[in-house]
Structure 1
Amino acid sequence: MRHFHRTSTWSWTMAAATAVALGATLIPHVQSFACKDVTVGDHRYDLSALNRDHVITRNFSTPPTYTAEIYTVNPCQALQFDSKLDKEDQCAQGTYVCHTTTNYKNDRSRITQVRVLGGGEKDASPTIEFKDKDIKNESDPPLLWAMEGQKDQSDEVEPKSKAFRTEITLICDKNSGSVTTDPQFVQEVDHTLQLEWKSAAACVTTRSDPPAKDPKTPPSTPGQPEEVAQGGGFFATLFKIIGILLLVYVVVGAIYNYAVVGARGLDLIPHRYFWQELPYLCMDFFQYLYSSCSGRSRGGYTAV
């Protein structure tokens, strides 16, 4: 009975561990991008206010139906995967920018196209850089948020290797609310969706400017090195001279031992036995100083 109790306990432990692992795999994975602290050059931004699903809808009349193109964008993390919808009617997990085309007729609708314009991969992550490389002294330069999407699998594209891409121009607008604003559609050309987004979140929060020089310090003359800090120049020069002299001593002594004495191996080192005994001489010297300063003397005795 005792053996059965141990086996039953082990079985329940393994079952609980399996259930926990299975539950972890069923939790949808949401890839996130650190919008809270974005650094571009010496500029820092906080784009966390944009972290929600933004929807852009474009309606077209296609008699006897009408068509709606919907762009869903979240620049900070992947869109939530809706388990209630069919898998083929929504973008894959890990998608940041999703495009769906829906056709409506007589209160009936059907999704006719789904495209992943940004993300769609497990480790996908967007990039943010200055839109204009030459920003110079511009305080709030526009940013370019860019991300690759999945490849176009439609029959019109041959070969089927052209990948979609989304480019969002983030423009600082201190007069606009950072939460209520939405991106605006610009165009979609050559598999690239271009959006423009004016928001206060695109304004610089901090800037790492180079430290200002002390006004009392005279400017250095162009072409001349700055003065060496006082207190280190003399000792640096002294150690350099000592190092050069030691190098010359070793090289010249080794050449002399090789050419004149005919030494080989470790015997090439000049005054080899002196350098071997030097550590012990130093130890004896410091022990002598310690004994003299502490008033102790090393006593001894003679065996009878």
Structure 2
Amino acid sequence: MPSLWHSIPALLLLPASISAVTLDCKHIRVDKQSFDLSALGGPKTVHQLQYLQPSISNTTFTIDICQSLKRTKGVPKSDECAGGTRVCGIERIYNQADDSSTTERVIPIAGEFSTSHGRAMDPEVTRLKDSASNSDSELEGLRVELHGGKWPETSGGSLQKAIIEFQCARDVTGNEGFEDAAEGSMLDIKSYGNLTRRAGEDAQEDDDNDDDEDGPPELPDLDKGKSLQFVSYKPDSDGVGVLRLNWKTKYACEGAYDEPPSGGGSNKTAHWGFFTWFLIVTFMLAATYIIFGSWLNYNRYGARGWDLVPHGDAIRDIPYVVKEWTGGVVDKLKGSGGSRGGYSAV
């Protein structure tokens, strides 16, 4: 039966596709501790502003801890990171002269690029308490290291990675500062033009005052009030571009996985994880049995069509069995509804 044999390769690839899920934010297990970061899912952005006289550079770092970043409607592909990216950095230069902006760099920092560039995300998860750093060892939470990025996409390009420290803060959800749905959008050009002019005016005032302390003018904090904070982005000793972020959230606290969600109710996430794996294992066992049985019937008995499938006759009879059972239940309900106390009509 052609349709059956065409589906067999897809079934055989199922284990490979399951193993490709490299980071399940709903159930992160490390050192016998479980963490559920699914409440932090969705794109979150932080910024790095730099004054490049007479312009301003704004690098927007966008991260989705649970899935790949989605395309933005109306934005050219060249101005966004490729599919599979989990952490993306986009640098834009805002010019004072004509209130215009240009995209300077698009940096895929981390993601799953196995099918395109051959690089995997390879997440590394550790507890902060197990950190070699004395300061981190006193903290409670997780360090998640994500790989896979490279910029530029040339033979001489530098590898990239993101290191996110999820720090326990029991009174913070981790979504503070991202309540506005439009938060991820860039400020309009006029706002950046004003920032540029303001920065230029501050620099001119410093020159007029002959201040001995030379330095860039102070720029606004676009991430004020956010639980997610930018720390740094620079190459390490091996030349790998490293983005460091700090994320305060109650979901990084040990024991939070087993606590019921706020507002009451049971912890369905833990049960759903077990139920999901039960369905996957059951499906794989059933698929293996059908594939092996079909192969055996084909090679040993030369079977074709429905005769290939083990217990094909029983499977074909299922609709009729269900129909008869349903009809019997309906007849019983009708009989009980029309009962007259045991007396039959004369």
TM-score normalized with structure 2 length:
0.45
- Is the aligned partner of 1:182 residue 2:251? no
- Is the aligned partner of 1:164 residue 2:145? no
Query: How many Å apart are 1:117 and its aligned residue?
Result: 0.8
Query: How many Å apart are 1:168 and its aligned residue?
Result: 0.6
1:75 is paired with a residue whose SS is: coil
In our comparison, the structure showing a higher alpha carbon Rg is 1
Q: How does 1:53-202 map to 2 (within 5 A)?
A: 53-105=43-95, 106-121=98-113, 122=115, 124=121, 126-133=123-130, 141-153=140-152, 160=156, 162-180=158-176, 181-190=226-235, 191-202=241-252
Q: What percent identity do the matched residue pairs reach?
A: 24
CA contact (8 A) 1:42 1:207 kept: no
CA contact (8 A) 1:55 1:70 kept: yes
Q: Which residue of 2 aligns with 1:24?
A: none
Query: How many Å apart are 1:64 and its aligned residue?
Result: 2.6
Query: How many Å apart are 1:206 and its aligned residue?
Result: 5.9
Whole-Å separation in 2 of the counterparts to 1:128 and 1:146 = 6
CA contact (8 A) 1:57 1:71 kept: yes
For residues 156-199 of structure 1, give each alpha carbon's deviation from its aligned partner in whole angstroms, at most 9, with x where no partner exists: xxx61531010011110002233225321112232111111111
Q: Which moved more, 1:94-103 or 1:123-132?
A: 123-132
CA contact (8 A) 1:79 1:95 kept: yes
For residues 4-49 of structure 1, give each alpha carbon's deviation from its aligned partner in whole angstroms, at most 9, with x where no partner exists: xxxxxxxxxxxxxxxxxxxxxxxxxxx8842112111111111111
Q: Which residue of 2 aligns with 1:259?
A: none
1:80 is paired with a residue whose SS is: coil
Q: Does the C-alpha gap of structure 1 residues 132 and 160 become closer, same or farther in structure 2, counting only changes over 3 Å? A: farther
What's the RMSD between the two structures over aligned residues?
A: 2.9
The structure where helix makes up a greater share of residues is: 2
Q: Which has the higher contact order (CA 8 A, sep 6+)?
A: 2
2:39 is paired with a residue whose SS is: helix
Whole-Å separation in 2 of the counterparts to 1:132 and 1:120 = 28
TM-score normalized with structure 1 length:
0.51
Whole-Å separation in 1 of the counterparts to 2:99 and 2:257 = 53
Residue identity matched to 1:59: L
Residue identity matched to 2:104: T
Query: How many Å apart are 1:73 and its aligned residue?
Result: 1.0
CA contact (8 A) 2:174 2:247 kept: no
Whole-Å separation in 1 of the counterparts to 2:80 and 2:109 = 12
Whole-Å separation in 2 of the counterparts to 1:134 and 1:61 = 35
CA contact (8 A) 1:80 1:93 kept: yes
Query: How many Å apart are 1:140 and its aligned residue?
Result: 7.1
- Is the aligned partner of 1:37 residue 2:27? yes
Residue identity matched to 2:53: P
Query: How many Å apart are 1:146 and its aligned residue?
Result: 0.8
Return 5+ residue gaps in structure 2 as ranges.
1-20, 177-225, 236-240, 259-346
Residue identity matched to 1:43: Q
- The count of aligned residue pairs is 173
Residue identity matched to 1:184: Q
Whole-Å separation in 1 of the counterparts to 2:79 and 2:131 = 43
For residues 213-247 of structure 1, give each alpha carbon's deviation from its aligned partner in whole angstroms, at most 9, with x where no partner exists: xxxxxxxxxxxxxxxxxxxxxxxxxxxxxxxxxxx
Q: Which residue of 2 aligns with 1:51?
A: 41
For residues 128-175 of structure 1, give each alpha carbon's deviation from its aligned partner in whole angstroms, at most 9, with x where no partner exists: 22234369xx997331111113223289xxx61531010011110002
